[in-house]
Amino acid sequence: MGDILATEADLLGMIKEYLKFEEFEETVHSFDKECQSKGKLVSKPRGSALRDSKTRVIQKDLLSSFDDGDHKVFFELWTENIPSEVKDTDDEALSLEFYLNIHFTIYPLRRHPGRHDRAEFEERISYFKQYLETRGAALSQTTEFLSYYALPFVPSPTAHPSFKNLFQDSWIPELRDKLEQFLSVTLKPSNTPRLMTLYKEGGRSTKEAMQQLQLQLVESDRRITSYVRKFSKMQADYQNLIGITAELVDSLEATVSGKMISPEYLQSVYVRLFSSQTRQSVVQSTDFTRPGTASSMLRFSIAPQRPKDVPMLPSLDYEKLKKDLADGADRLKSLLLQALRWRLTRSLPGEQRDTVLQAYISNDLLERYSTKQKIVLHLLRSTNEIVRQYMARLINAFASLAEGRAYLSQIPILLKLLTGVLRKEDKESLTRENVLVALQKLSLRRSQQTAMIADDLIGWLVDELQDSDCLSDNTLEYSAALLMNLCLRTKGKRKCAENGKHVLKVLTDLLGHENHEIRPYVNGALYSILCIPSVRQEAKEMSVEEILSCYSREENPDLNRQFEFIIKQLNSGYSFVIIISCQEDLMETDLDKEEVLQPQHRELSGESLLTTEYLGIMTNMAKVKRKSTPLPQPSVDEPLQRPVTPSSHRNASAG
């Protein structure tokens, strides 16, 4: 009963405090009178004078222990007096605490440069390691702090370029000012009524819960993507096993008739069973026309059903199309670009899609041979954002197909247009993202690699990746893959060597990024540029070997073995790189994602727009598609040593 009365008195006290704060004087008078008549107790507002003096003492002690380098006293006061909801969740508090730990760790090095107490420094390093593994672990995915996780493993931090700023004269005063400002705000007694504080905190809790749910949703999407890849790999492995089983059944039947199995045949079976690099479908590896009983039944269970009579899409009037793309209204241009892209992305793989692409190429849709001042490709410079975006999407669709890349590579002005878009568009722009992905796919061709290196695309990519937290996952992945492809070339390695320390710093920072899909490309780039002697020397000065050791994880042996190859490259300099133009088709399922253009009521769009307004006569020029040869795949243990795209790499090493 006593607890209920105390709670009631406290609640009534908060109500009265709020009314007084808002100056409801008459209401306060009536409230007091009614509480008195009902015999209700009203608690008094808590005094602040005592809290003010105590706060000043705590603030002074914290700043004093900061100046003296007394980390034990400082963090004892910090833990006791900084509210947990601030020090555990507030970004500013977490960042400040991280740098404070660095301050106390390197304090002996700053106080006595060159003659510090080694035992004391080792003790502080031990404390810092413990912090990094506990409270500091939450910041390990943030680029700003990533390099400092290598601090405990660097023999001489004062000479290391990554930590140069920590030993500048301005670093301590700046950090102290931040601390003083933080304490004055955090420890300042609030005059806000307790009722208002409770309301605000309740609203914040709801907001935080929503943010948490959004993060969980993003993580769920990431997991779904991962599971889809694993399922695809499992499906491919299953089909491969069924094909091998069918052949083995045939072989067993043959032995009954007295036919021997040759060692060469067994060897081929072993290679297909155990080589994770061979990813050919059963259709390519097994003869389905061979007679058999049990084996034919096994084959039938996985035989792909060939669609009957795949229709060819109607021919189009490409001259009229190009005229309207050049002179039509912006909305018509956007609808046409969308429809032409859909023809490529939504056509059936095989003869139907090949016919569409060959029609585009033979009718020179992008006007590579045109001498006109205003051509279709110039839509990349349109003042209309949707026109620019849909032109970039169409180019990306072209670049997804091997014959499309060959066509694009023959357009002299294309690369200049694409890199111009990269440098002008906003980072969040879908136009920019599609251009970047298209360039990455074009980098599978040697001639385009040469042109990109000459245009200093490597420098742009390194600067872009330096601010990786501001990039979408897709942009980050394709930027890293494009950089790796360019680094495989000798000219690309030399370009990196011109600013070796900066490139190495960016690449080693990326190893700790939360998006693990980029690691194969980062490792491939590191492995490639380390064959340059000057880069190897700079890597040794930056303790890259120790940084790689810091990122090793027991649960990821493949990654660890890649690091071993990179370290071996660092210490030897031998390099063997396969440079070959890729002939694969790379049509991703998300080329049509986030469509911003939607048809209005009774407005023609897509295939209906093309077949209603732009029907042509005999413009579909079918051409037998060149059969691609599977490219050699490096072991999963080794860094990538040939040009790839993220989609082709995922297909080759799903899971």
375 versus 193: which is more confidently predicted? 375
Q: What is the pLDDT of residues 476-508, one digit of tens each?
A: 999 999 999 999 889 999 999 999 899 999 998
Mean pLDDT of 507-523: 86
pLDDT band per the 50, 70, 90 thresholds, residue 383: very high
**pLDDT reported for residue 401:** 92
Q: Do 52 and 39 fall within a single domain?
A: no
Q: Cα(55)–Cα(58) distance, rounded to whole angstroms?
A: 5
Q: Measuring CA to CA, how many Å separate 535 from each of 388, 499, 529, 545?
A: 39, 9, 7, 13
Position 549 pLDDT exceeds 50: yes
Domain assignment present for residue 53? The answer is yes
CATH number of the structural domain spanning residue 386: 1.25.10.10
pLDDT at 513: 84
Domain presence at residue 528? no
- The whole-number pLDDT of residue 570 equals 79
What is the CB-side half-sphere exposure of residue 24 using CA atoms within 13 A? 11
In this structure, how many other beta carbons lie within 10 angstroms of the beta carbon of residue 474? 18
- Evaluate the CA torsion angle 264, 269, 275, 279 in order and state its sign: positive
- Shared domain for 223 and 127, answered yes or no, is no
Kind and range of the H or E element at 59?
Answer: helix 49-68
pLDDT value at residue 380: 92
Highest mean pLDDT among 85-94, 201-210, 285-294: 85-94
Q: With 60 as the cut, is the pLDDT of residue 346 above it?
A: yes
pLDDT higher than 70, residue 195? yes
Q: Provide CB contacts within 8 A for 400, sequence distance 6+.
A: 344, 441, 585, 586, 587, 588, 591
Beta bridge partners of 316: 615
247 assigned to some structural domain: yes
In a domain, 555, yes or no: no
Rg over CA atoms, the chain: 33
Per DSSP, the three-state class of 387 is: helix
pLDDT band at 579 (very low <50, low <70, confident <90, very high): very low
Same domain, 448 and 318: yes
Q: What is the mean pLDDT of the chain?
A: 79
Average pLDDT score over residue span 246-262? 79
Phi-psi region at 593: left, alpha or beta (left = phi > 0; alpha = psi -120 to 50): beta
Average pLDDT of span 238-251:
79
What's the number of domains the chain is made of?
A: 4
Overall average pLDDT of the 441-451 stretch: 91
Q: DSSP string of 195-215?
A: HHHHHHHHHHHHHHHHHHHHH
* Positive/negative CA dihedral, 105, 111, 116, 117: negative
Q: Is the pLDDT of residue 532 over 70?
A: yes
pLDDT number for residue 406: 93
Name the burial class of residue 627, with classes exposed (0-12), middle (13-18) and buried (19+) by CB atoms within 10 angstroms of its CB: exposed
Give per-residue pLDDT as tens, 272-300. 655 543 334 333 443 433 444 334 544 55
One domain for residues 52 and 137? yes
CA distance linking residue 276 with residue 608, whole number of Å: 45
- pLDDT of residue 386 exceeding 50, the answer is yes
Whether 307 has a pLDDT exceeding 60, the answer reads no
By CB atoms closer than 10 A (0-12, 13-18, 19+), residue 376 is buried
pLDDT on residue 288 = 35
Q: Is residue 215 part of a domain?
A: yes
Query: Among 389, 304, 354, 425, which residue's Cα sits nearest to residue 587?
Result: 354
Name the residue with tokens 């003492």.
Answer: 57
Two tokens, residue 86: 């601030």
Instruction: Show which of 239, 267, 297 is a domain's final residue.
Output: 297
Determine, yes or no, domain membership for 637: no
User: What is the spatial distance between Cα 646 and Cα 652, in angstroms, rounded to a whole number?
Assistant: 10
Q: What is the mean pLDDT of residues 577-601?
A: 70
More confident site: 229 or 12? 12
Same domain, 35 and 73: no
Closest CA to 631 of 623, 621, 643: 643
User: Average of pLDDT values for 70-81?
Assistant: 89
pLDDT at position 262, please? Answer: 75
Q: Is 451 inside any structural domain?
A: yes
Answer yes or no: do 358 and 438 share one domain.
yes
State the average pLDDT over residues 141-162. Answer: 80
Q: Give the 3-state secondary structure of residue 488.
A: coil
420 and 395 within one domain = yes
155, 187, 219 - which closes a domain: 187
The answer to whether the CB of 640 falls within 8 A of the CB of 524 is yes
3 CB burial (10 A radius; 0-12, 13-18, 19+): exposed
* pLDDT-based confidence at residue 652 (cuts at 50, 70, 90): low
Rounded to whole angstroms, the Cα distance separating 616 from 323 reads 14
Which tokens go with 71?
Answer: 């980390």
Of residues 278 and 447, the one with the higher pLDDT is 447
What element of type H or E holds 341? helix 330-345
Question: Is the alpha carbon torsion for 88, 93, 95, 99 positive or negative?
Answer: negative
Structure tokens belonging to residue 52: 């003010």
pLDDT value for 474: 87
**pLDDT surpasses 70 at 115:** no
Asked if the model's pLDDT at residue 369 lies above 50, the reply is: yes
Whether residue 130 is found in the same domain as residue 240: no
pLDDT at residue 336, as a whole number: 95
How far apart are the C-alpha atoms of 380 and 362, rounded to whole Å? 22
SS3 label, residue 203: helix
Do the Cβ atoms of 501 and 537 come closer than 8 Å? no
Whether 70 shows a pLDDT value over 50: the answer reads: yes
pLDDT tier for residue 20 given thresholds of 50, 70 and 90: confident
One domain, residues 137 and 257:
no
Beta strand extents in 482-551 (DSSP E only)? none
Q: Which of 269, 297, 325 is the last residue of a domain?
A: 297
- Determine contact, residues 324/264, Cβ cutoff 8 Å: no
pLDDT at 517 > cutoff 70: yes
Same-domain pairing of 92 and 35 = no
15 and 57 inside one domain: no
Query: C-alpha distances in angstroms, 482 versus 33, 229, 314, 463, 634?
Result: 76, 22, 37, 13, 18
Q: Are 292 and 253 in contact (CB under 8 A)?
A: yes
Residues 35 and 136 in one domain: no
Q: Which residue has the tokens 């568009």?
A: 425
Which of 412, 391, 226, 421 lies closest to 325, judged by CA?
391
Q: Is residue 646 part of a domain?
A: no
Full domain range(s) for residue 422: 314-455
pLDDT score of 293: 38
In 3-state terms, what secondary structure has residue 406? helix
The two three-digit tokens of residue 490, written as one number: 């000798």
Contacts of 129 (CB under 8 A, 6+ apart): 152
Q: Is the pLDDT of residue 98 over 50?
A: yes
